[in-house]
Structure 1
Amino acid sequence: MRQSGDHVRDTPPRGLRQRRRPRRRHRPPHARTAGRVRARAAAPLRAERMGGRAAELVREFHDLTAGTSLAGEEEVVCHNDLSPRNTVYRGEEPQPVAFIDWDMAGPGRRVHDVAHVCWQYAGLGPLIADPADAARRVRLICDAYGLRERGEVVETILWWQDRCRRGIERDAAQGLAYAIRLREQGAVAQVRACHDWVAEHRAGFERALRQIEGVAASAGCPGEGSSIGT
């Protein structure tokens, strides 16, 4: 899916490629995200090393969709579920080359995807021993993307985490089996702990992001609106 002028070609840009996979029962993004939180607790992926390259890929597909009919009245098309497990890697020292699982993609704001990358690739949560190092990794992700306006990054991370937790709780209350299983496995408590950890260290994250806003501005990323969404 590549749009150029008035023509749309069916060849996807590099960052939008998908691999063919067996059909599976759909689960909402908060279910998959909760699973990734548990996986990191069991065996850290050290995905922070790849977060910068992932951010570059996000910027690539965001720029390709900005101002097109695909984005509608929003800034860009967002993936809305970016994480190490939704990333294709290549090379002897594996580096991100593409993303998969585009079923939740839709028009949105740049900061939505950038914040999700920060949460998932930096592994933000109570398992991190050094909050200052985590703030550095978040800053590097924003640098790699070229995000100019960073005042909403931490707020949007917290929004994603709260949305994930509330989604599981809502679906469990409605009797959906996957959500009941996740709740019983402790996913709600784990995501809440990640949210509380980010909230506790919010000032440090925001201070780190403010340190280089002038440098990031030279990348030319368009400014953003003020509404995160619900």
Structure 2
Amino acid sequence: MSVAEEAEEEVLQDRADRHVVRAGATVRHAVQPWTPAVHALLEYLADAGFAYSPRVLGVEPGTGGAPDTEILTYIEGESGPDGWAKVVDEDGLRAAARLLREYHDTVASWAPERPPVWAGGATGAGGPGEVVCHGDFGPWNIVWDGVRPVGLLDWEYAAPHPPWYDVAYALEYLAPFRDDEVCVRWLRYPVPPDRRRRVAIFAEAYGLPDTAGLADSVIEIQRIGLDFVRQLAAEGHERQVTMVAEGHLDELAERIRWSEEHRHLFD
């Protein structure tokens, strides 16, 4: 890292398991076992002309026992907590759905020669009816310019699934599948949202023929998410171990219960 880059270093995320910094026009964090798979995906997206993914600049060898560091391009814009307000706006909601569809259409043609190995142990780029899903498509991982997406971040949970996996995951947060108090107090809604309308807007912008089965798909994704946290904790992943120790599985189970009891708000 150059002296100039060191002077401009900014901490973007500081979890025990994930320390991410910006250094000039780059983003840097420690290499993980699934980093080669993510890099292969990002390189394919760059070659395919997908404008929203960060570009891989290389890997910097660690010194003194430190892990290697991956280096990606930094995408200017608003992200993280600022993303919630962007999708309250229906134009932002439509734009998020179109971004997801563009990603799915782009990645559908990916056929890597060497099967990538993803977080959680899945391999390959998907069988019939599957694509490599982003896996964490929420408003916080979109980079925004106003209500226009300009980037898509954090590909660490990418893995092969049917496209509805990403659609349902996104809808949990974009409909959203949360109670009125959470929507108004935390998710930037001025009044409780019309969830059924928002599901329909997303479905149309993504290109679905209707909204049939989407609420059930979201609940299924919530159950899969709970099981995935439990799996990663059992494998010793630090973040998920902490989540389980802090009772996060109970919180996820409560979200599932709420979704089941309030399905009528979405169908």
Same fold (TM over 0.5): yes
Counterpart AA for 2:51: R
Within 2, Cα distance between the matches of 1:132 and 1:84? 16
Task: Determine whether 1:156 maps to 2:217.
Answer: yes
Q: Which residue of 2 aligns with 1:194?
A: 255
Task: Determine whether 1:89 maps to 2:125.
Answer: no
1:118 positional shift: 0.6
Within 2, Cα distance between the matches of 1:12 and 1:202? 39
Q: Which residue of 2 aligns with 1:52?
A: 94
**Greater CA deviation, 168-177 or 116-125?**
168-177
Bigger fraction of residues in helix = 1
TM-score for both structures, normalised by structure 1: 0.63
Task: Determine whether 1:114 maps to 2:167.
Answer: yes
Bigger fraction of residues in strand = 2
Does the 8 A contact of 1:74 with 1:109 survive in 2?
Answer: yes
Q: Which residue of 1 aligns with 2:208?
A: 147
Q: How many correspondences in the alignment?
A: 184
1:145 positional shift: 0.6
Counterpart AA for 1:97: V
1:106 positional shift: 3.6
Instruction: Name the CA shift for 1:106/1:177 in 2 (closer, same or farther; >3 Å).
Output: closer
Identical-pair percentage: 27
Q: Which residue of 1 aligns with 2:128?
A: 73
**Secondary structure, counterpart of 1:14 in structure 2:** coil
Does the 8 A contact of 1:19 with 1:100 survive in 2?
Answer: no
**Secondary structure, counterpart of 2:150 in structure 1:** strand
**Secondary structure, counterpart of 1:77 in structure 2:** strand
Does the 8 A contact of 2:51 with 2:151 survive in 1?
Answer: yes
TM-score for both structures, normalised by structure 2: 0.56
Within 1, Cα distance between the matches of 2:126 and 2:45? 14
Does the 8 A contact of 2:196 with 2:265 survive in 1?
Answer: yes
**What is the CA deviation profile of residues 122-156 of structure 1, one whole-angstrom value per residue up to 9, with x for unaligned ones?**
33223247877122222211121111253332222
Within 1, Cα distance between the matches of 2:55 and 2:88? 23
Within 1, Cα distance between the matches of 2:106 and 2:161? 14
Match of 1:182 among 231, 236, 243: 243
**What is the CA deviation profile of residues 165-205 of structure 1, one whole-angstrom value per residue up to 9, with x for unaligned ones?**
22333444565542232134342222222211211121331
**Secondary structure, counterpart of 1:150 in structure 2:** coil
Within 2, Cα distance between the matches of 1:97 and 1:81? 17
Instruction: Name the CA shift for 1:174/1:102 in 2 (closer, same or farther; >3 Å).
Output: closer
**Greater CA deviation, 151-160 or 94-103?**
94-103
**What is the CA deviation profile of residues 77-100 of structure 1, one whole-angstrom value per residue up to 9, with x for unaligned ones?**
32121112211112xx24222212
Counterpart AA for 1:59: R
1:59 positional shift: 1.0
User: Larger C-alpha radius of gyration, 1 or 2?
Assistant: 2
**Secondary structure, counterpart of 1:96 in structure 2:** strand
Does the 8 A contact of 1:67 with 1:75 survive in 2?
Answer: no
Give structure 1 stretches of 5+ with no counterpart: 26-38, 207-230
Does the 8 A contact of 2:95 with 2:147 survive in 1?
Answer: no
Q: Which residue of 2 aligns with 1:36?
A: none
